[in-house]
Amino acid sequence: MSDLVGKRVAVTGGAGFLGNHVVERLRGRGCRDVFVPRSAEYDLRDGNAVARVYEKARPQVVLHLAARVGGIGYNKERPAETLVDNLLMGLQVMEQGRRFGVEKLVAVSSVCAYPKYAPLPFQEGDLWEGYPEETNGPYGVAKRVLALQARVYRQQYGFNAVALLLSNLYGPGDNFDPSSSHVIPALIRRCLEAADEGRESVEVWGSGSASREFLYVGDAAEAVVLAAESYEGREPINIGSGEEVTVRQLAETIARFTGFRGRIEWDASKPDGQPRRSIDTTRAQFELGFKTKTPLEEGLRKTIEWYLGQRETVAAQVEGRSG
């Protein structure tokens, strides 16, 4: 177990959804020297900008969470940006970290890296057995390369880099922008708006038959910090809840929790994305002692409660970005 107290820690993406929770966990552990590079000042796609991060913060530990990510629609509209930006950020953050002699780097990858038809539940050894699901293929490939980079840097340079493969995140602080949000915040927003307006139906992309495994953001943050403290392996680790649910079941639960009593209409002309997602978390339990604490229904209630309290602020932020 590596004590992070007294260490200088840099968290890329530390002002984002997962990053906010990770920084909070670090400070809860007593870690006071936490540096969060902001994109307005440091473009992590640029090696010179990343070098400035290391020169300013002199981190001993780096948690690389920064990513360009969105829902199915966003990924279909911006595949080149999604691929290139994520590749460049990962390559530069790890390479500059190696050059600056960082003691440890935790690279956060994604379940989207898995092949479209990987055997269920997904096991870490199946990562390279096919191309990811097409609608998020560029993002998945970039995140797969990040896990590979951690492995080969350890192999060639002895650089202490480890990779985590996180399942779909949700929770307080999620992105509720309809142009780029993932399924849970999108459904919460649509159902609440429909309930408020007395609408009789809500339209949802796909058939509803696809399944996902969702991970509460607070649990994900704990896994990231545990990996920084205790994992030294060359293989990536799956981080998930072990709770698979269909999108149809998810939509019905969210409708019930938000008070929407109308119909859910499925637009089967739109893509479902990957048919099923369920991951094997045996390695996480063995290597990190990690197991999720937040069941899906509890996490959904917390997320809805947070959004209801932040609705006006979130709407203003979305309007500001679109304007």
92 CB-side CA count, 13 A: 22
Q: Backbone dihedral region of 263: left (phi > 0), alpha (psi from -120 to 50 degrees) or beta?
A: beta
- In this structure, what token pair is assigned to residue 120? 């269920």
CA–CA dist 124, 105 (Å, integer) = 19
* Contact by Cβ (8 Å): 131, 115: yes
User: CA 238 from chain center: how many Å?
Assistant: 12
Whose tokens are 């390559």? That residue is 91
Count of CB atoms situated within 10 Å of the CB of 3: 10
**Is 231 tagged catalytic?**
no
* Contact by Cβ (8 Å): 219, 293: yes
Which of 54, 114, 139, 153 does the annotation list as catalytic? Answer: 139
Alpha helix segments (H runs only) across 105-216: 137-157, 183-197
Q: Which residues are catalytic?
A: 139
